[in-house]
Amino acid sequence: MNPSLRSVPWLVVALVVVAGFGAAGCSRGPAYVAEPDKAAVVLETVLAAWRDGATCEDLRKRVPPIHVADERWLRGAKLESFEIGDVRPFGLSTRCEATLVGPAPLGTKKVVYHVSTQPAISVALGD
């Protein structure tokens, strides 16, 4: 077998890989990144709204809307105070620790929220 023919399959593979990278580079969407400083402000806004008697629906009506997924709040738990702790990037979102204080059934809870600021603003209670 001709030695130059043995390298043909590798040449084809190399060309396909290079072409794939080139095509992927041309079709990239927006690059979303975690924004811890902005996420902390968003979480502060959300928890202050809860403490002050607002609803998740009130936040969804804002411009831009803030989408909140916290079953305690949705079930009617009252929040008296809160403290935001460690805030750090977590993939494309930001992981925010918080201490929530309210009457039963909430009590005092240490929780984690995942806050996304792109493409939409959302706050979700973590595990």
Domain residue ranges of the chain, discontinuous segments joined by +:
36-125
Question: The pTM is what?
Answer: 0.76
Minimal CA–CA distance to 56: which of 41, 44, 74, 77? 74
- 36-42: long-range contacts, CB 8 A cutoff, minimum separation 24: 36/87, 36/88, 36/89, 36/94, 38/117, 39/87, 39/93, 39/94, 39/96, 39/115, 39/116, 39/117, 40/84, 40/87, 40/94, 40/96, 40/115, 42/66, 42/115, 42/117, 42/121, 42/123
User: Could you identify the residue written with the tokens 């805030």?
Assistant: 87
Residue 3 confidence (pLDDT): 52
Residue 1 confidence (pLDDT): 52
In a structure prediction context, what are the per-residue pLDDT tens digits for the chain, which is 127 residues long? 555 444 433 333 333 333 343 444 455 666 888 999 999 999 999 999 999 999 999 999 999 999 999 999 999 999 999 999 999 999 999 999 999 999 999 999 999 999 999 999 999 999 6
Give me the architecture of the 36-125 domain, per CATH: Roll (3.10)
Residue 74 confidence (pLDDT): 93
Residue 18 confidence (pLDDT): 35
